[in-house]
């Protein structure tokens, strides 16, 4: 991951931007990822605040962890419910792996409980009932989720906890973080016996590493309900090992044993969800929700919004200040321009690949054209032995005149002087012939004449000539030295 530029604001140690999303402020962190308040830049100055869950850099080397994050996005994309935080985008880029969710302005249930304790404020029971009902509505929708083929996916969240329940200033509670959720039709990403989730909210069968179904989520929702009404942790131990020992060895106390003013119907419903034996426990989130109906007055959405706004005022002011102070990215750095730049970069690389391929092909064609074509020379037909002098080309006649000075060429008349017309080798230009030039016979070469015998019959004065094609010439106009000639003696001698 590239080092971020230095700046007086924003998350230190993290990139300023991933894709079209500008990171502004970390708002939550876990063992697998960090959640940032981010800003999405679009066309025409469009900006929107989102929550971006960025996978820790060292975990990007683990394919199983990356697959879990992407699986969370796929499952959440199928789950559309007002009490579930929607996932907007998910990417596995070379620089970062992340998913993008709706930003819920507010706080988690864990944060609300903590701030209420700091201010010695007690969450009203109607508000607790409203939050709990919203959570069970979202959990019920997750358990009943069906795939594109209409079959129930058997989705199990496995990490229902106060940290994964967001309550917004709009008064709506939403379930989030399906990072370790598991569907019955999903590939087995969890190794056998590997325990995942927060120990304090695990069902006993989950802590033992046994097969799970939706009843483990009902247990976790019961723990959340117990802590909402009691105002403290159910299994508050020094470490996870001590918590697991208490979880497996003790039955949870009844809610009215720590809060006598809790309605009996709420106490009974929570106790039914916290039965250690899975077969005796409340079977579904819908049943848990039904048992809470009529247990007491339920706050309106506006009442919940008022409480959340009061408890999260300082946090929201801090985040608003970051948003206002964060410099707006230049137009060329906005999401649309960044995407266009990426397309242009890909197009440039594409043309570069085409140019390199064309250069390689051109080089091969050039080498093939310049390489001697021996196959054509080998396939050239031999001249017939009875070829006449008039059929000989210029190089052949020149070679004949040079090798046999006594043999007259068609250009020399009988009885001519010692000067013979000798043809010069043709030029390299294959489209034109070089004109002949006169050359004197060397003085040391005596002129030879043939005197016919009076009694002998009249016969030709020159022997027949048979030509062999030159192995160094591709044709009569290829240029180069004269074609070698093999002479055969005349049958009249």
Residues annotated as catalytic (active site), given as ranges = 159
Residue 421 burial by Cβ neighbours in a 10 Å radius (0-12, 13-18, 19+): middle
Please calculate the CA angle 328-47-173 and round it to the nearest 5 degrees: 125
CB 127 within 8 A of CB 225: no
Distance of CA 434 to the CA centre of its chain: 66
- Tell me 191's DSSP state: P
Query: Residue 214: which residues within 8 A CB-CB, separation 6 or more?
Result: 143, 154, 155, 156, 284, 285
Using alpha carbons only, what angle is made at residue 10 by residues 5 and 12, rounded to the nearest 5 degrees? 60
Supply 113's token pair.
Answer: 């409980």
- The C-alpha atoms of residue 238 and residue 224 are separated, in whole angstroms, by 19
Q: How far apart are CA 198 and CA 279, in angstroms?
A: 22
Please state, in angstroms and rounded to a whole number, the distance separating the CA atoms of residues 135 and 333: 39
DSSP state of 235: S
For residue 42, give every residue at least 6 positions away whose Cβ sits within 8 Å of its Cβ, in sequence order, or none: 20, 48, 334, 335, 336
Query: What is the residue whose two structure tokens read 């003790």?
Result: 250
Chain position carrying tokens 């030709």: 460
| 159 contacts: CB under 8 Å, gap ≥ 6 | 177, 179, 180, 181, 196, 197, 198, 201, 220
Q: Are 224 and 218 in contact (CB under 8 A)?
A: no
352 three-state secondary structure: helix
């Amino acid at each position: 991951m590239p080092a971020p530029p230095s700046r007086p604001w924003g998350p230190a140690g993290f990139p300023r931007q991933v894709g079209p999303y500008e990171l502004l402020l970390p708002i939550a962190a876990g063992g697998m990822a960090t959640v940032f308040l981010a800003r999405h830049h679009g066309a025409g100055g469009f900006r929107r605040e989102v929550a971006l869950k960025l996978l820790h850099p060292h975990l990007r080397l683990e394919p199983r962890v990356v697959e879990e994050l992407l699986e969370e996005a796929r499952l959440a994309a199928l789950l559309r419910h007002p009490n579930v935080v929607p996932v907007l985008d998910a990417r596995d880029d070379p620089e970062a792996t992340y998913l993008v969710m709706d930003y819920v302005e507010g706080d988690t249930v864990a944060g609300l409980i903590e701030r209420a304790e700091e201010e010695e404020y007690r969450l009203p029971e109607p508000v607790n009932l409203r939050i709990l009902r919203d959570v069970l509505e979202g959990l019920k929708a997750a358990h009943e989720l069906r795939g594109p083929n209409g079959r129930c996916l058997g989705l199990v969240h496995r990490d229902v906890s106060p940290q994964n329940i967001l309550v917004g200033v709009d008064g709506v509670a939403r379930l989030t973080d399906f990072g370790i959720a598991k569907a019955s039709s999903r590939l087995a990403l969890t190794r056998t016996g590997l325990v995942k989730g927060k120990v304090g909210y695990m069902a006993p069968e989950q802590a033992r590493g046994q097969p799970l179904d939706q009843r483990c989520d009902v247990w976790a929702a019961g723990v959340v309900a117990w802590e909402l009404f009691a105002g403290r942790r159910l299994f508050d131990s020094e470490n996870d090992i001590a918590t697991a020992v208490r979880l497996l060895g003790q039955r949870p106390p009844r809610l009215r044993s720590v809060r006598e003013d809790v309605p009996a119907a709420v106490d009974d419903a929570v106790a039914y969800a916290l039965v250690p034996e899975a077969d005796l426990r409340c079977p579904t989130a819908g049943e848990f929700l039904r048992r809470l109906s009529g247990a007491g007055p339920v706050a309106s959405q506006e009442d919940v919004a008022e409480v959340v706004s009061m408890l999260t005022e300082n946090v929201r002011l801090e985040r608003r200040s970051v948003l206002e102070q964060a410099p707006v990215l230049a137009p060329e750095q906005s999401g649309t321009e960044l995407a266009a730049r990426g397309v242009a970069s890909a197009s440039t690389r594409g043309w570069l690949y085409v140019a390199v391929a064309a250069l390689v092909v051109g080089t091969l064609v050039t080498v093939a054209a310049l390489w001697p074509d021996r196959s054509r020379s080998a396939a050239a037909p031999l001249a017939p032995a009875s070829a006449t002098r008039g059929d000989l080309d210029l190089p052949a006649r020149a070679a004949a005149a040079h090798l046999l000075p006594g043999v007259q060429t068609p250009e020399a008349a009988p009885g001519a002087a010692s000067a013979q017309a000798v043809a010069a080798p043709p030029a390299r230009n294959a489209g034109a012939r070089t004109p002949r030039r006169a050359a004197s016979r060397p003085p040391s070469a005596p002129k030879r004449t043939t005197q016919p015998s009076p009694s002998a019959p009249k016969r030709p004065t020159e022997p027949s000539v048979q030509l062999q094609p030159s192995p160094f010439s591709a044709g009569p106009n290829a240029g180069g030295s004269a074609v070698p000639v093999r002479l055969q003696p005349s049958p009249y001698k």
